[in-house]
Structure formats: structure tokens, C-alpha cells
Amino acid sequence: MYIAYSGYDDVGIVPKDAEQFIWFYQVPFKTNISLLSAEIDTYFSKFQMIYNKVGTDKTFIVFSLENLFPLRLINNDFSVEQSIEKFNNEIIDFAEKNSNVKVVDFKDFLNKYSFDELVNWKFYFISQMQLNPKLAGDFQKWFKRKEAEIQLKRKKCIVLDLDNTMWGGILGEDGIDGIKIGGEYPGKAFLHWQEDLLELSKSGVILTVCSKNNEKDVLEVWEKNPFMILKKDSFSAYRINWNDKATNLQELAKELNIGLDSFVFIDDNPTERELIKQVLPMVSVPDFPQKPYELPKFFKQLVSEYFCVYKITEEDKNKTAQYKANAERVAEQAKFVNFEDYLKSLNIEIDILKADNFNKERIAQMTQKTNQFNLTTKRYTDADVQQKMDSGWHIYCISVRDKFGDNGITGTIFFTPKDQNDTVEIDSLLLSCRILGKGIEMALIHSLMNILKGNGVKSVTASYIPTVKNSQVADFYDKAGFEFLSEEHGAKTYSIDLNKSIEVKDYYQINYK
């Protein structure tokens, strides 16, 4: 990455070619309180000035303003604190209105250290650097995680053991009213943990269970134990049997159509954890706390390492229901002998929507997170999407529903502007895995070809760029009737002439919005 930084308060020049901008002002080390608070009061307008030069098409990360070395001679004078609070509130409001501005809470880093650790005055006087350079490594690691949160990257699924993980005791030995959940400690601690997990699931993380138990017993607990917060419906899928957990996890990944590298495996038994680490090294396996009272701390660690994101979208909130509806669709599929009959019975509706201010964040999020059905795997921020919309690209997203439920916005396609030969190129095409297996990809591409034809486009070029994860779409354009042009290092290019007629199966109802 190209990094340009302007230090020592020089805000005269804004490097326009930077990929992103970071505002990292901290409270200067000055003892004159009134001067200091007056200086802080100028920061917000200074920030706005820079923002106006940078514009809306690049990500602009703003650190919250913090005082690394607060010093107060008069105890009832809070003017510096008030100025800091004012700036932080202004910047949070500003970020709400300007979606390319992302606020990073610097306290989240600082809270881990004491004043003595944070500031090393020797280095400060040599370099003007306020943060102790000995913390540079820790800071870098922390900031990288923050950047990932801003790009909305996180683990998708948590796999939970039951005995001594979701409740105290062993179901097979203690019985459905003997296990410890609710009531006195340790039941209280497990109850709190289940409440934490419920919130996690509301934020879009998928909960699943993998436990060595009799399925019948567990179903009975879920139904009858009044303290159980997480029940059958809370989980998108489960494997309760005596098979080895690695096999079970692979099955869960297949059933939910999620890569194993998006899984976090939670189990109190170190042998099971070791098995997963050995057999499925792409799965994240944190150590489980020794004592139930350590669960809240453990949950906080899980959140910050795997699940925290900058913001959540509407789709995230409905994930559990969507993945469950998918599992029901799989069951329905089994009843039909003829696949087309099955598709017809689903009453599939596909909305094709133009990118706008309401869906651009979801579109950017999909480009960041989709790995398998992704033809070119180009990653974009919402600011990138905005920039492309402004420069004449045709960007669409699709929203898919059927009789089992609404999958929400689950795919996107980017066309470059029409060139002098009336040709456009498909820059990106991706679909969320949970809508695959229903022919939607073909219905989508063919419908869009017809839209483009209506807009005077004569031909479309496209490419497939291989990654370690997207081999399932290597021959997508061949199947879609595109003409193969060339191949270099596995990357293939195609084109299609829009003069020929393109048919879309009539059992998809397609709505253009």
C-alpha cells in the first residue's frame, strides 16, 4: 500500500493519490489548559477542511481523540475533557452522515495500558511521537484488526459443544433437570454466556451445535428445561451424534454452504480441540476457559478476535432464519424426482435492483466477503462503489425470495460504462452461496443480457480470475453460452454477442426495480 503522511500539523497538502486517509490527532502535551482546549476546539473545522479536499470516494478513518497524559492543576476545570468530548461527538455525527468516514475508538487500544506504558517521554522529546514506540507492534496488530472490521470481515459461524460448554455437567449423567443452567452459580454463569451468544446470533453470526450426545436427550432439554435460552430454533444446524467432530464439522460446512475457514470451534474438551486443530487447521479453535466465571471475559475475547464488525446490515440480522429456510429447501428437494419441477414449485422471485445509497454498503460487503461464487474476486469499499456509480458504471444487486423465505440482497454484478463499440465488460459478478443450486445464476446473467440489449449494448466481455476458492465458477461463462476467447495462467476471457436471442426460464419471476 502507498502511504503518505503529513506530520507536524501540516494539513496544507492532501495527497490525492492515496488509497485511504487516516486522521490520527491526539491531544497535544501542553499544560496551559485554556490554550489547549481552544486548540482542540479548532480540530473539527480543520478535519472538515481536509475532508472537503479528499471527497467522498475514499475511505477516511478517524481516530477518536484521546488524552494520553491528562494533567489537571485545578480539579474542577473540565474544559479540556469537554473539548475532547465535543470533538468526538461531532465526528461520530459526521460519520453517520458521510458513509466513507469511519470512526475508530482509540480507547479500545489505550485501555489495555497504564499511563507509564503509553507515553515514553524520552522518545517523545526526540520524535514528537506521543505513543510509546515500544507499543508499535501491538498497535499495528490492533489497527489491522480494526481495518478488517471496517471492511466488514468476520467469522460467519460458531460451533458449540453442549456438556460443560453450554451448561454445567453432563446431560447423559445428570439428566435434563440435573444440568447446571440458571439458578445459582455455576448455572448463572452459563445462563449469562447463553445470553451473550444469543446477542451474537442477532448480529448475524450463525450458531450451530456439535456434541457427543443422544439427539433425543438434547431435543428434550431444549424443549423442557425452562432456563435454556438457546434452543433448537436458535441453531441453524446441528450434529448431535457419536461421530468424530471433524467429520461433523465438514458436514455442517457443506450443509450451510460456508467455508471451514469461517468457523470458530468452541469445546471445553482439549482433546476435541486438538483433533480439529490437527485435521481442520483452517478452523479457528480458541482455548476454552477453565472456570465458568471466566466466560464473560472469554466472550469479549471471541468478539474482538473474530466477530466484531464496524456495522451490521439488515441481511446480517436475518441470517439464522435464512440458513434454516435453506435447510428446509434441501429437504423439499429430496421429494422431487425432477429438478425442474422442484424449481417450479419454489415460486422463485428475483428482484434486480440498481445500486443506490441504500444498498451500496451491502454491495461492498458482498465484494469483501464472497469467495466461492465470485468470478473476479475484486474487493471494493462502499466508497469505491459510490465512485463507480458516479462515473457511469452499471451496478446491480439482486434480492431473491421463494416460498420458504426472503434471502435478501445476495448477489451483485458490475458493468463498466459502454465503450465506443457499444461493448461493456463484466468487472465483477458474485452470488452468495446460500442462494445457489436453484439456477438463479443463469436466470440472472441472461436477464441482464436482455436488459443491456435493450439499452443498446451490442456485446459483453467477461473474465474468470482463479483463486484458491472460486474453482466452482471456472466454467460458468461456458455454461452461460459465452464464447471463450483466451486463457493465461488460468485466467480466462469471454465475450457474448447480444444479437442472438437469450432465453430465461419462465418459472423465475424477474422484477426490475
Partner 1 sequence: MENIEQKILEVMKKVFEMDNIDKTCSQENCEKWDSLHHLTLITELEDAFDVEFEPEEIAEAKTFAKVEEFIKAKNNL
Binding site for partner 1 (CB under 8 A): 122-123, 125-127, 129, 133-134, 136
Cβ burial, residue 252 (10 Å; 0-12/13-18/19+): buried
Give the nearer residue to partner 1 in terms of CB position, either 49 or 136: 136
Bridging pattern class, strands 237-240 and 263-266:
unpaired
Q: How far is the CB of 123 from partner 1 (least distance, A)?
A: 6
Shortest distance in whole angstroms from residue 142 CB to partner 1 = 17
147 in helix, strand or coil?
Answer: helix
What distances in angstroms separate CA 230 from CA 157, 167, 195, 198, 200, one per listed residue? 15, 11, 8, 7, 12
Comparing CB distances to partner 1, the nearer of 63 and 190 is 63
Determine contact, residues 216/160, Cβ cutoff 8 Å. Answer: no
User: Which cell is 23 given?
Assistant: 486522521
- How far is the C-alpha of 419 from the C-alpha of 113, rounded, in Å? 56
Phi-psi region of 387 (alpha: psi -120 to 50; beta: other; left: phi over 0): alpha
Starting at the edge strand that comes first in sequence, how are the strands of the sheet with 157-160 ordered?
A: 237-240, 206-211, 157-160, 263-266
Q: Which three three-digit cell numbers place residue 251?
A: 458436514
Provide the minimum distance between the beta carbon of 117 and partner 1 in the complex, in angstroms, as a whole number: 13
Q: Which one, 48 or 127, has the nearer CB to partner 1?
A: 127
State the Rg of the chain over Cα.
27
Q: Which is nearer to partner 1, 6 or 127 (CB)?
A: 127
Report in angstroms how near the CB of residue 133 gets to partner 1 at its nearest. 5
We find the least distance from the C-beta atom of residue 121 to partner 1, in angstroms, to be 10
The whole-angstrom separation of Cα 118 and Cα 104 is 18
Q: Which is nearer to partner 1, 136 or 198 (CB)?
A: 136
492 SS3 class:
strand
For partner 1, the closer of residues 5 and 242 by Cβ is 5
Closer Cβ to partner 1, 33 or 129, answer by number: 129
Q: Which of residues 126 and 485 has its CB atom nearest to partner 1 in the complex?
A: 126
Complete DSSP assignment for 67-117: -SS---SSTT--HHHHHHHHHHHHHHHHHHH-TTEEEE-THHHHTTS-HHH
* Smallest distance from partner 1 to CB 85, Å: 31
Q: Cα–Cα distance between 415 and 302 in angstroms, integer?
A: 39
Cβ closest to partner 1, residue 3 vs residue 13: 3
Nearest distance from C-beta of residue 125 to partner 1, angstroms: 6
**127 - beta bridge partners?**
none
Other CB atoms within 10 A of residue 150 CB? 19
Nearer to partner 1, 8 or 242 (CB): 8
Question: Could you tell me the smallest distance in angstroms from the CB atom of residue 109 to partner 1?
Answer: 18
Tell the smallest beta-carbon distance from residue 132 to partner 1 (Å): 8
Helix axes 245-256, 319-335, angle to 10 degrees: 90
Cβ-contact 447, 398 below 8 angstroms: no
Q: How far is the CB of 277 from partner 1 (least distance, A)?
A: 28
